[in-house]
Amino acid sequence: MTKEDMNIQELVGRRNPFRVPEGYFEGFNERLMNRLPQTGKKGKTVRLLPRIWHYAAAIVVVAGLTSVVLWSNRPSVTTQLAENNDAAVESFYDDELDYIMVGNTEIAVYLTEAE
């Protein structure tokens, strides 16, 4: 116990210094409601943001989600380069074979003789 608590206990003792009059809380609600002003007005609702801002925010969200979906579904650059590279290599070999005029049978004979 602190020194202040001991001083208070010496002055007041163990009794409760706060007292409520008899029957105070029995009619408290009625007395309180009678003291309030009786007005028939309802409170006014004040919008913090105009309604147009709600629509603008919805459009921004939809546009953002659409761009994320479209961006994630596009083919990657490495895939496109690999496809282009395969096509270029195949075209190169076709052109070279046409240039040296070697047919499929001659290639097959050459490969079987190499083994």
pTM: 0.30
* pLDDT tens sequence across 39-63: 777 778 777 778 888 899 999 999 9
pLDDT value at position 59? 95
Q: What is the 3-state secondary structure (H, E, C) of the chain?
A: CCHHHHHHHHHHCCCCCCCCCCCCCCCHHHHHHHHCCCCCCCCCCCCCCCHHHHHHHHHHHHHHHHHHHHHHHCCCHHHHHHHHHHHHHHHHHHHHHHHHCCCHHHHHHHHHHHC
Chain length of the chain:
115
